Structure 1
Amino acid sequence: MVNNPIEEQDILEKSVLYLIRVIGKNFKFLILAIVLGGGLGIGLSYMATVKYKASAELLPEFSRGSLSSLGSLASLAGLNTSSGESDAIRPDLYPNILQSNPAVLHLLKQPVESVDGKKFPTLFDYYKLKLELQLPPTFLNTSLNDSIVKFKPEEMLVISSLKNSIESNFDSKLGMVTIGVEMEDPKIATITLANCISYLKISVNEYRYGKNVDQGDFLTAQLSKAKDRMGKARYKLQKYRDNNRNIFTNAAKIEEQKLQEEYSIAFSIYNSLLGESERLNISSQDEKPLFQILNPPVVPNNRSSPNRLFYAVGCGLAGFMITLILLLVPWRKIRLT
């Protein structure tokens, strides 16, 4: 059976006209449904949990060694501090850092204080009281480096609750990072926000300087060995000269030349390692990642949720749609019959 487009268009026009007539005929009733639905929404908003949101804006900066004063001084001293591309974490990865399990465990270990002055040894203790859980704090010491970890459902409830409270995003156009923490207690939310910023700084610095620290430890060990070797070579040379001051044989001159060469090599290695150590120190200070806090954390006074206007509009529209559907059901049954 082939559908006739003209008949389908006619049915559609009749349906739209009928819908308009139903709305016009029951206009006051639909308005009443919207009002009642909006009132119900406002009532539901008073039953919802009140939360406060603390937010902060960060401007991550990264100074290039070739443009800084330390880099210029190092160039005058004959040290090359240019290192090509930076090893810093990209700012668009900051939200992922704050949503990671190591970050959450770090935040749960920090002490907090409620707006009424009640102090909690850790944020974990606050969640235990809030969620009415009986959990030992042993899982806070869980190592997440290379081992496979399985959390209990109650522990995952705490972790997911904190993750849902943290919001962060990176604006690539402005180059700005926005972090927000929404909780029932405004002061605890603000303290947690400050801890988020602190953890973010620590993570970025550790990532950036992890390799430099390893190189610095290696250079320190090699520098100590080179210094001992240079000292021994110098002592042997001076001792030989003292014992053979009045001897002018060729064999004595060859031995002195040999000791002089050993001392020169040891001195050259020590001097090279010392210069490399100074270059690494200057480069570490020169390319230090910084955070410029544009809007610091402030304890919020106004609630962020529930949004009573959103509840009223949403429930009002829901009341309108439900009422309209109920008015159209008899017509649909007649049409089907």
Structure 2
Amino acid sequence: MEDNKKELEVIDLRIIFSKIWAKKLLFVKVLPVVFVLSCAYILCIPRTYTSSLNLAPEINNSSNIGGTLGSLASSFGIDLGNMETTDAINPMLYPDLMDDNGFVVGLFDINVTSADGSIKCSYYDYLAKHQKYPFWKKAISGIKKLFAEKPKAINSTGKNNPYMLSKKQNDIASAIRKKVIINIDKKTAVITIATEAQDPLICKTIADSVKERLQVFITNYRTSKARVDEQYYHKLMVESKREYEKARQLYGSYADANTDVVLASMRAKQDDLENDLQLKYNAYSTMVAQYQAAKAKVQERTPAFTIIKGAAVPIKATGPKRMLFVTIMLFFAFFGTCIYIIKEDIISNITRK
């Protein structure tokens, strides 16, 4: 019985292949049409380029974490030493900066230049005026504009309040979030910035600019408390210096006016002024030392950044994959035509079962 079943299966396959071969002219009609349509479709989609860089920021560990817990975390690809810091903003949260309008709107003013030099404008204007779209997207967008309500003019510049944007500005911000990706490795804390653009040079420019703004953000945050302390001690130093100079002038004037006086009361007052001058000088010296220590603390808290891989101008476009797309479409066309030819056999086998 098993041999008979195998023989029937072989016969069925031969019949199927013969039916497909008998309809070979159908493939001659379908495949060229699919090829032309696929090429026409994919050629309308503009090419995009991708550039990326790797940045390693300095991280101050609150404690050295080791032992069994550290080993267990490392086995899951997590470095607790990099995650446990005294900062309120954990390095793992840096990618979430792209969700903040303040950070994204700060990218609007980046000056970009295309590889051929034909475009020189801000990043906002580049996304708003110099993007290429397939013709069907332009048509759909035109239809939507006909029926859409006229948006209210809110915050025309986007600089006064990044959290109250107009409809167009919000669309540009959403586009930037799709084109700029920030990721961080949980094990090594290495930050990866990847950008996408329709021009290779602009792609690299945006990657470098995002890196610089991220460095500024991290530095400002890491040194914020130290800079507040520096300003506080600078204020105290200025006040103590003013008090010291006032006491010095008072003591000098009194000493000059009473040089030959031998009265005990006069000398006692002079001694009081001298002691007050010394106290003011000691306070001033202390504030100078505190201010210098606060300045050193700012420098100590300023993180160093190491560029592991810099952003390069991409040579080849990353998308769309035109050859791959056409090949896949031809495969589906071939497979679908085969199913169409043998659909009666498929239906009869299903009905028989």
Please, what TM-score do these two structures have when normalized by structure 2?
Answer: 0.68
CA contact (8 A) 1:41 1:308 kept: no
- Which of 52, 56, 65 is the equivalent residue of 1:55? 52
Q: Does 1:194 align with 2:208?
A: yes
Report the CA distance shift for 1:255/1:139 in structure 2 as closer, same or farther (over 3 A). Answer: same
Q: Does 1:233 align with 2:247?
A: yes
- How much has 1:94 moved relative to structure 2? 2.6
Q: Counterpart in 2 of 1:284?
A: 298
Report the CA distance shift for 1:21/1:130 in structure 2 as closer, same or farther (over 3 A). Answer: farther
- Which of 263, 275, 278 is the equivalent residue of 1:264? 278
CA contact (8 A) 1:41 1:312 kept: no
- How much has 1:93 moved relative to structure 2? 2.6
CA contact (8 A) 2:31 2:334 kept: no
Letter in 1 for 2:160: T
Letter in 1 for 2:271: Q
Q: Counterpart in 1 of 2:66?
A: none
Report the CA distance shift for 1:196/1:24 in structure 2 as closer, same or farther (over 3 A). Answer: farther
The percentage of aligned residue pairs carrying the same residue is 20
Report the CA distance shift for 1:269/1:108 in structure 2 as closer, same or farther (over 3 A). Answer: same
SS of corresponding position for 2:182 = strand
Give the 5 Å matches for 1:40-189.
43=39, 44-62=41-59, 86-87=86-87, 89-131=89-131, 138-144=156-162, 149-152=164-167, 154-189=168-203
- How much has 1:142 moved relative to structure 2? 3.3
CA contact (8 A) 1:113 1:188 kept: yes
Looking at structure 1, the residues matched to 240 and 229 of structure 2 have their Cα atoms a distance apart, in angstroms, of: 16
Looking at structure 1, the residues matched to 121 and 37 of structure 2 have their Cα atoms a distance apart, in angstroms, of: 38
- How much has 1:52 moved relative to structure 2? 0.6
Deviations 1:187-241 (A, max 9, x none): 1111111111111112112222333333333322221221111111122223333
SS of corresponding position for 2:304 = strand
Looking at structure 1, the residues matched to 325 and 190 of structure 2 have their Cα atoms a distance apart, in angstroms, of: 32
Report the CA distance shift for 1:86/1:332 in structure 2 as closer, same or farther (over 3 A). Answer: farther
Looking at structure 1, the residues matched to 56 and 283 of structure 2 have their Cα atoms a distance apart, in angstroms, of: 43
Q: Counterpart in 1 of 2:256?
A: 242
Looking at structure 2, the residues matched to 40 and 143 of structure 1 have their Cα atoms a distance apart, in angstroms, of: 49
Report the CA distance shift for 1:41/1:267 in structure 2 as closer, same or farther (over 3 A). Answer: farther
SS of corresponding position for 2:218 = helix
SS of corresponding position for 1:292 = strand
Q: Does 1:293 align with 2:285?
A: no
In structure 2, runs of 5+ residues without a counterpart are 1-8, 62-84, 132-137, 146-150
SS of corresponding position for 2:58 = strand
Taking only aligned residues, the RMSD between alpha carbons, in angstroms, comes to 4.0
Letter in 1 for 2:222: R
SS of corresponding position for 2:317 = coil
Deviations 1:278-314 (A, max 9, x none): 0011111223212211221211111111134653676
Letter in 2 for 1:119: I
Looking at structure 2, the residues matched to 203 and 303 of structure 1 have their Cα atoms a distance apart, in angstroms, of: 31
CA contact (8 A) 1:62 1:287 kept: no
Q: Counterpart in 1 of 2:72?
A: none
- How much has 1:256 moved relative to structure 2? 2.5
Letter in 2 for 1:276: Q
Looking at structure 2, the residues matched to 21 and 215 of structure 1 have their Cα atoms a distance apart, in angstroms, of: 89
Letter in 1 for 2:166: F
Please, what TM-score do these two structures have when normalized by structure 1?
Answer: 0.71
Looking at structure 1, the residues matched to 11 and 268 of structure 2 have their Cα atoms a distance apart, in angstroms, of: 118
Letter in 2 for 1:49: P
Looking at structure 2, the residues matched to 314 and 246 of structure 1 have their Cα atoms a distance apart, in angstroms, of: 108
CA contact (8 A) 1:104 1:159 kept: yes
Q: Counterpart in 2 of 1:10?
A: none
Report the CA distance shift for 1:269/1:185 in structure 2 as closer, same or farther (over 3 A). Answer: same
Looking at structure 1, the residues matched to 14 and 103 of structure 2 have their Cα atoms a distance apart, in angstroms, of: 58
Looking at structure 1, the residues matched to 15 and 268 of structure 2 have their Cα atoms a distance apart, in angstroms, of: 120
